Structure 1
Amino acid sequence: MDTDGTHETRPPRTGQIPRPASPPPPGLPPKPAHAPVAGPTLEDWLRVPRTSDGPGVWSYGHVPRAAEEPEVTPIRQLISGALIALLAGLLLWSLLWNGYLGGFWLWPLYMFTPDSWAGTLPSVVAAYVWYGVVALTLAVGFGRLGRWSELARRIVGSRAARAVQAVVPAARPEQGGPEDAVRWPQVRGAGLVEAAERLEKEAGAGRMNDVDYARIRRAWESVRVDPSRLRAFAEAVRDKGAGACVHPSGARDLPVRAARHDLLARQVLLGTVEDGPRNPYARRGTSLALDPDVLGTSLLAVGPSGCGKTGRLVRPVVESLALQALAGQAAVVAVGAAGAQLGPDAAYDVVVRVGDPASVYDLDLYGGATDPDEAATLLAEAFVGDVPGIDVRRAATALAQLLGPFRTAYDRFPAVPELRELLDQVPDVLDGLRRALDDAGQHTMLRELDARERQHGAPADPGPALADRVALLDRPAFATFFDVGGFDTTGQGRPFSLRTLEHPIRVRIDLPERGHADASRMLARLLLAQFNAAAAARTDRSLFAFLAFDDASHTLTPGTVRGIQRLRSANAGVLLTLRTLDDVPEALRTPLLGAVGCRMAFSGVTTWDGKRFAETWGTEWVETRDVTHRTVFADQPLTRAIHAFRKLVTGKAVTTDAVTVRQVERERWSASDLAHAVPPGHAVLSLTSVGGERAAPLLVRLAGAATG
């Protein structure tokens, strides 16, 4: 039950979940630094209402806004109108009081007071009462005419509201009700009153954090699916309290958080939508967040170096999914160059440093595949998927003609040096393979080997190109990597395979971009191809699987772009960052923008990249106003004299304005606007949820510290 009931399947060839890259910190888990935010306790954090009126809305305490912007009269116009109404009211009262308009307004007083009251106190009282009624009527009438109430609300009301807000503390949520999340009503409803009370006490005593709550709630959801786990759940809570159903690594929180998270809604705060005319009124000033619902459609971000892609996007997203992995909700793999600021080693279960002899973990070149045809397809995509003129399917066939016989003969796939020798058709290696197949009676595989030998050296043979690409991995720096089960003589290799995505695992893969750029790009293509295959092949898709590339330059191929389109149905997604779309083959730029559901243009993109985004985001109908100024020519002498005097004083001729209002179709964001009108630290982001909801491109002020 401690594994949340989702970890029964073992990762291939390892026999167990990979241990954490470093031991978790001892003692109680640290209180979250950002979610819940400093100040509210876990109980208050749970009781804050969460509402959302569109994809990307930070639902924690969100208050929906009106869909359309109300018409707001300028404050100067309100003041002048109120002053004119006041003067008009005083003038009318003066005329009435001094009798310039006659005594008609006193008729009701004469009609309802008897003549016997003349000169008595009741007569005086009745007269002043009537004067007050008339004055009040004038005040109400001219007040409405001058919009005094709106002026008071705009000037006095806002200040009073701020003063009250500063003095009166924020109201605490309603608590203690039957649906209070702190009291675990569903657990109580299932008859586990003791377990619910234990969890409630853990939260009240400060021994439970947001990760604990999300993890135990996830475990309870598995109990609802499989009631046979009910007893194990109750025993785990009874024995360990907030530490029940803990992640296999034993960690209950990350060592540090660089962003603000809401694990109850599975969101990470990305920034704030700018309060300006560029954005829809309903989204202005609201907080923007990312969650699996939008990341499941995959995200492409483009921006130059130094614009903040790593610190303001990649790390917060990876951090959020790492927290969700600790809660048993997700599996995340982060890929970046060695030294990329993607979080400390202690925040991951597996850290693969390709090319570093001190790396604890190795990378499975074949991605855990056991079928030669599948392994050949993945390798062909990585090796020659970016080479113009080479058919990936022919390359996959050529590799399968070697991998199939080799696995049949030796019960494993070839290591990198062996694969290079097979592709180069080294006679001694091929002769040894033939003897092994002949001794085993594998005549079918011998025919495969013969077919590869006949095709070797033909004009369209992909073998030489494959051999050249394999040679990039057959270097001394990678001598102890890509263990294939027994070939590595060091005995230290612990190969990691993306087949472990069925477990809530946190992985970081560091590529040797500085010294081996071509090999790093090839490995990045391999990882993307393996992720697409592994995510689609999962039998249990309850975990959200995510792959984040800190730099996806020269990583995409036609096959991997097609694979990205299928990820949303597999409860998976990818994050791809690029310095420019020029790092993607021209034929793939439009398909790539169409394959992802979320697109992000950082400050500093070029007009060429902006043009692609502008075409993708399309156009919208907007209302425009054209004002035409026309000079007024007077016919009457007096009018002409007045106009001449006015021109002499102001220096401008008397004109009239003709306003034309029309609907026109314009780009939501033009290429020029994206290149020149996005301030530093901002980005334009469009979102699409897995369910099909869309958010128009929004100008967002990003949070976090930029690191690359």
Structure 2
Amino acid sequence: MTWLRGGSGRRGTGTPWSFLHSEYPAAASTLDQLLAHRALSDVDVARIGRLLTHAQADPARISAAAAEVMTAGAAAGLHRSAQHDLPGERLAQHNLEYGQVRLGRVVPTAAGGFGATRDFGIDRDVLRTSLLVVGPPGSGKTRSFGLPVVEHLVLTALTNQASVLVVDPKGDDFAYAGWFDVTLDPLAPTAGLSLYGGSPAPEVAADRLASALLPPTTSDDVAYFMDASRNALYACLAPFRLAFDRWPTVRELLALLRVEQGTVDKVRAALKGRDSGESRRLLASRAAQRDARLDPAASMIERLGLLDRPRLVQLLDHQQPRFEMAQLNSPVRVRVALPESEYPDASRILARLLVSQFVQLTSAANTNRSIFKGLVIDEAGRFVDDYVARGVQKLRSNNAGLVLIAQTLSDFPGHVRGTVLGSVGCKAVFGGVDPADAAVFSRWFGDHWVDEVTHGQQRSYSHSESRQGEQEGYRLGDSVSTRRVERPRWSVSEIVSGLPAGHCVVALSRSTGERSPPFLVDLRG
């Protein structure tokens, strides 16, 4: 689970296209010469290697791939961005052939399981089990974990082996030039966002949108209102979708939820000849719901109204091109800059919507499992609801994973903390966290057996003979006793105040169920 190989992109003395020499020697020679003249970056090597090895089993595909190598050379199978590498100096060391990124060095400890210092890194199989990183402000969790992992996934996307979505609440932590194909920023829009995630089904779109709009926690006495809100959304979306074969804009949806007569009449007119009566019944049910003494969807309507702002409407309804979550089934790099200082509540709604859409996409039966799909969320506690927490375990079998970065576990809603901790396979904690958080991690890291040595003094009776006669009496002597006892691998006090700056305790797991003991990692440099 730790970093084992260098970042040259070469497998020993061979190359990923060695098998070409027997049947396509000209293509193999072309690549060998490019490599010898250093005309191939490690991104090119990994990308072309993937192109050829994936085509190897199909004679028609491998023939076409070899021909592309002959004509395009280093540009064979080029990513949509046409980039061969990222601009500027890399922040971390990467091995793209093996899918690894180096993060630091393991520090030998009694609890760590390693007897010598060694490089530490993670790969995409580890990320498939998802990763939770908790540390106080200024601990370096974003710089030490978030940025290297994002850089690795961005590079891997250039090799056509991954897609990545980064939720950036501050708006500038991951804003590196040339890293992303799509940037969603309401304050500087260059692409739009689909409010419905490209979903073809009204019931799915209604459920995801309602989950984003409604508060992440609720008491039993208001659960009725949340269910009624979901029903209200469906009663508006399904007829509109059938009538116009598209989703409503923010303002059209608000008008339908408010049962504004002009908008409702337009939908009913468009339904003539296309509806068996079910859509009209849904519209009537929403009208009856609205006319009740207390409209159970009133709160959701007000929260949807938070998105009815000029810049947000531009992002959600008018900006082209428009990003839909289904695009992550191909190698694409997306960053979402949330303007929390300008639109705090609306930003949280958008973030929760994107996170739930990602889980919905990656846990679906028809998701593209041939590429890894990663979601990196800074300040993740505010954006994870019960649906996301439950969906984490489904991701590993679909070649996807989450990286959740948070200042404290208390940022997560109380009813999902246990689910998040139980579902996430990899956990990392920095020093200085709240003692309550440290206690949780201490329990998760478990206990181990140690030798407890006790030093003391023992009183013994002695008798001796000499020329002066017999002598007897008591004397004191040192005593040492050892016993096996069970102690926490990492105690609460060690986690809170015993970890040096730039260090964290990490426990990893793989998709096969293999787990590592928690070990101390120096992330500096």
TM-score (norm. length: structure 1): 0.69
TM-aligned CA distance change 1:590 to 1:303, over 3 Å: same
Find the structure with the greater CA-based Rg. 1
Partner residue of 1:575?
A: 403
Partner residue of 1:397?
A: 231
Deviation (angstroms), 1:625: 2.3
Deviation (angstroms), 1:540: 2.8
Distance 2:104 2:481 in 1: 39
Deviation (angstroms), 1:630: 2.1
Deviation (angstroms), 1:428: 3.1
Q: Does 1:249 align with 2:71?
A: no
CA deviation map 1:55-95 (0-9, x unaligned): 2x101169xxxxxxxxxxxxxxxxxxxxxxxxxxxxxxxxx
Partner residue of 2:482?
A: 660
Which one of 292, 316, 323 corresponds to residue 482 of structure 1? 316
Partner residue of 1:92?
A: none
CA deviation map 1:18-62 (0-9, x unaligned): xxxxxxxxxxxxxxxxxxxxxxxxxxxxxxxxxxxxx2x101169
Partner residue of 1:446?
A: 280
Distance 1:638 1:319 in 2: 83
Could you tell me which amino acid in structure 1 is paired with residue 42 of structure 2? Answer: D
Checking the alignment, whether the CA contact within 8 Å between 1:480 and 1:493 is kept in structure 2 is no
- SS of the equivalent of 1:482 reads helix
Distance 1:236 1:673 in 2: 57
Checking the alignment, whether the CA contact within 8 Å between 2:16 and 2:53 is kept in structure 1 is no
List aligned pairs for 1:509-520, cutoff 5 A.
509-520=336-347
Q: Does 1:620 align with 2:448?
A: yes
Identity of matched residues, % = 37
Distance 1:431 1:380 in 2: 24
Checking the alignment, whether the CA contact within 8 Å between 1:423 and 1:466 is kept in structure 2 is no
- SS of the equivalent of 1:478 reads helix
Distance 1:639 1:251 in 2: 98
Partner residue of 1:677?
A: 498
How many residues get paired? 513
Q: Does 1:265 align with 2:98?
A: yes
Distance 2:256 2:177 in 1: 38
CA deviation map 1:113-160 (0-9, x unaligned): xxxxxxxxxxxxxxxxxxxxxxxxxxxxxxxxxxxxxxxxxxxxxxxx
Distance 1:539 1:555 in 2: 23
Checking the alignment, whether the CA contact within 8 Å between 1:401 and 1:448 is kept in structure 2 is yes
Partner residue of 1:695?
A: 516
TM-score (norm. length: structure 2): 0.92
List aligned pairs for 1:85-124, cutoff 5 A.
none
List aligned pairs for 1:559-574, cutoff 5 A.
559-574=387-402
Which one of 152, 158, 173 corresponds to residue 320 of structure 1? 152
Partner residue of 1:590?
A: 418
- SS of the equivalent of 2:183 reads strand
Could you tell me which amino acid in structure 1 is paired with residue 435 of structure 2? Answer: T
- SS of the equivalent of 1:281 reads coil
- SS of the equivalent of 2:316 reads coil
Distance 2:428 2:293 in 1: 43
Q: Does 1:501 align with 2:328?
A: yes
Q: Does 1:202 align with 2:34?
A: yes
Distance 1:278 1:536 in 2: 36
List aligned pairs for 1:206-605, cutoff 5 A.
206-256=38-88, 257-282=90-115, 284-353=116-185, 355-356=186-187, 358-384=188-214, 386-389=216-219, 390-391=222-223, 393-438=227-272, 440-456=274-290, 462-483=296-317, 488=318, 492-537=319-364, 538-605=366-433
Distance 1:208 1:558 in 2: 45
TM-aligned CA distance change 1:460 to 1:574, over 3 Å: farther
Could you tell me which amino acid in structure 2 is paired with residue 273 of structure 1? Answer: V
CA deviation map 1:452-492 (0-9, x unaligned): 22233658864112112101111233131112xxxx3xxx5
Partner residue of 2:5?
A: 60
Checking the alignment, whether the CA contact within 8 Å between 2:451 and 2:482 is kept in structure 1 is no
Deviation (angstroms), 1:224: 1.6
Distance 2:85 2:146 in 1: 19
Distance 1:216 1:556 in 2: 37
TM-aligned CA distance change 1:198 to 1:428, over 3 Å: same
Unaligned runs of 5+ in 1: 1-54, 63-173, 644-652
- SS of the equivalent of 1:659 reads strand
Distance 2:68 2:234 in 1: 48
Checking the alignment, whether the CA contact within 8 Å between 1:437 and 1:443 is kept in structure 2 is no
Distance 2:57 2:302 in 1: 51
The structure with the largest strand share of the pair is 2
RMSD: 2.6
Checking the alignment, whether the CA contact within 8 Å between 2:256 and 2:264 is kept in structure 1 is yes
Distance 2:114 2:391 in 1: 36
Checking the alignment, whether the CA contact within 8 Å between 1:363 and 1:496 is kept in structure 2 is yes
TM-aligned CA distance change 1:659 to 1:61, over 3 Å: farther
Distance 2:216 2:307 in 1: 17
Distance 1:461 1:541 in 2: 43
Distance 2:511 2:121 in 1: 15
Deviation (angstroms), 1:286: 1.4
Could you tell me which amino acid in structure 1 is paired with residue 357 of structure 2? Answer: Q
- SS of the equivalent of 1:599 reads strand
TM-aligned CA distance change 1:493 to 1:265, over 3 Å: same
Could you tell me which amino acid in structure 1 is paired with residue 256 of structure 2? Answer: L
List aligned pairs for 1:73-152, cutoff 5 A.
none
TM-aligned CA distance change 1:224 to 1:523, over 3 Å: same
Checking the alignment, whether the CA contact within 8 Å between 1:183 and 1:200 is kept in structure 2 is no
Deviation (angstroms), 1:413: 1.2
- SS of the equivalent of 1:566 reads helix
Unaligned runs of 5+ in 2: none
TM-aligned CA distance change 1:382 to 1:625, over 3 Å: same
Could you tell me which amino acid in structure 1 is paired with residue 4 of structure 2? Answer: S
Checking the alignment, whether the CA contact within 8 Å between 2:457 and 2:476 is kept in structure 1 is no
Deviation (angstroms), 1:539: 4.2
TM-aligned CA distance change 1:61 to 1:512, over 3 Å: closer
Q: Does 1:181 align with 2:14?
A: yes
Checking the alignment, whether the CA contact within 8 Å between 1:385 and 1:558 is kept in structure 2 is no
Deviation (angstroms), 1:268: 0.6
Distance 2:284 2:515 in 1: 54
Could you tell me which amino acid in structure 1 is paired with residue 341 of structure 2? Answer: R
